Amino acid sequence: MQLARAEGGRLQAEAPVDLVPIVRMLAADMTRDEADRIDLVLPAAGIPASIDPDAFAILARNLIENALRHGNQSAPVEVSLSPTGLLRVVNAGPAVPADRLRRITRPF
């Protein structure tokens, strides 16, 4: 359903939402089972964005879950949100080979 919304261009929120509490909440929720696996770096000020908050939360959760699942289990996952709104999720896992990356980025 989110893919259909994205393709239809309906991922914008009616009013800007702050992304910082969304990322903070996701990291707190996910560290209950993965204690000390997430290094969270957030700006002090809020980051307003026009993205639908549910869609952003789904995207961020998927990225963080994949990083935790497929990265080095003994290394932390770095989750950061820049003051410009750039979300980065970095793990110590191997890079996805180029041929597989092309395949997994296509819609089903």
CATH number at residue 9: 3.30.565.10
> Tell me: the pLDDT tens digits for 80-104?
999 999 999 999 888 888 888 888 7
> Can you give the pTM of this predicted structure?
0.79
pLDDT band with cut points at 50, 70 and 90 for residue 4: very low
Residue 44, domain extent: 2-104
Other CB atoms within a 10 A radius of the CB of residue 84 amount to 7
8 secondary structure, DSSP code: T
Task: Name the amino acid, one letter, at 86.
Answer: L
- At 12, is the secondary structure helix, strand, or coil? strand
> Tell me: the pLDDT tens digits for 22-63?
999 999 988 876 667 899 999 999 999 998 898 899 999 999
**CA 36 – CA 73 distance, rounded (Å):** 11
**CA 16 – CA 45 distance, rounded (Å):** 14
